[in-house]
């Protein structure tokens, strides 16, 4: 059976992050691993760690990215963000695509964890493919204050065609 086409939102998100070949990346909510595969294509010496709550999703992601997992370029864990345990400063980039917790409620706890896990100067990238301009605008207004409240410096807010909030760890 042929692999499913990679969603355009994931292609755009990975392009927008401007990853370096040696970056240490964390993806929150990796699903079936499509973005993991895209990130691995850009790495040479870097790594991606990806988490998802769903065992089914991470199993599919491991299968999809079997060569990268075997090479140690990709590491996948079945865990919720709030239950994950990583070393302080372990990542240069942290990203999530369509993970609603960052705008539907206070993400203070999760952003506190991410802040610890990011290396100094590391960047957080939050993306959404919103269903319409009004929802995109709502997300673009709600997320930056929540991110700033947890000590991040918001560098970019874009609402079209993909909502993107980029913030640097202070």
Kindly report the backbone phi and psi dihedral angles of residue 136, in degrees, each rounded to the nearest multiple of 5, phi listed first. -60, -45
Q: Which residue, 123, 71, 62, 133, is CA-closest to 92?
A: 123
CB 19 within 8 A of CB 93: yes
pLDDT of residue 147: 96
| C-alpha 60: how far from chain center | 18
- DSSP codes, 137-149: HHHHHHHHHHHHH
| Residue 66 to residue 52: CA distance in whole angstroms | 17
> What's the confidence (pLDDT) of residue 4?
65
Written as six digits, the tokens of 159 are: 């609402």
Q: What is the model's pLDDT at position 5? A: 82
**What is the distance of C-alpha 32 from the center of its chain?**
14
Q: Write down the pLDDT at residue 69.
A: 98
Average pLDDT per 10 consecutive residues for the chain, totaling 170 residues: 74 96 98 97 98 98 98 98 96 97 94 96 96 92 95 92 91
Half-sphere exposure at residue 123, Cβ-oriented, CA atoms within 13 angstroms: 15
DSSP helix, strand, coil percent of the chain (3-state; round to 5): 40, 30, 30
Q: Smallest Cα–Cα separation from 38: which of 16, 58, 60?
A: 16
> Is residue 10 within 8 Å of residue 50, measured between CB atoms?
no
DSSP label of 169: E
């Amino acid at each position: 059976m042929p692999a499913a086409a990679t969603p355009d939102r994931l292609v755009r998100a990975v392009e927008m992050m401007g990853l370096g070949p040696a970056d240490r990346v964390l993806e929150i909510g990796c699903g079936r691993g499509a973005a993991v595969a895209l990130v691995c294509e850009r790495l040479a010496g870097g790594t991606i760690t990806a988490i998802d709550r769903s065992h089914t999703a991470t199993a599919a992601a491991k299968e999809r990215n079997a060569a990268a997992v075997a090479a140690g370029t990709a590491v996948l864990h079945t865990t919720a963000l709030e239950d994950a345990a990583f070393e302080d400063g372990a990542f240069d980039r942290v990203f999530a695509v369509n993970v609603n917790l960052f705008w539907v409620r206070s993400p203070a706890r999760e952003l506190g964890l991410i802040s610890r896990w990011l290396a100094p100067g590391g960047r957080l990238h939050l993306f959404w493919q919103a269903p319409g301009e009004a929802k995109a605008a709502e997300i673009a207004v709600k997320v930056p204050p929540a991110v700033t409240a947890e000590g991040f410096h918001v560098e970019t807010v874009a609402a079209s065609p993909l909502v993107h909030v980029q913030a640097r760890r202070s």
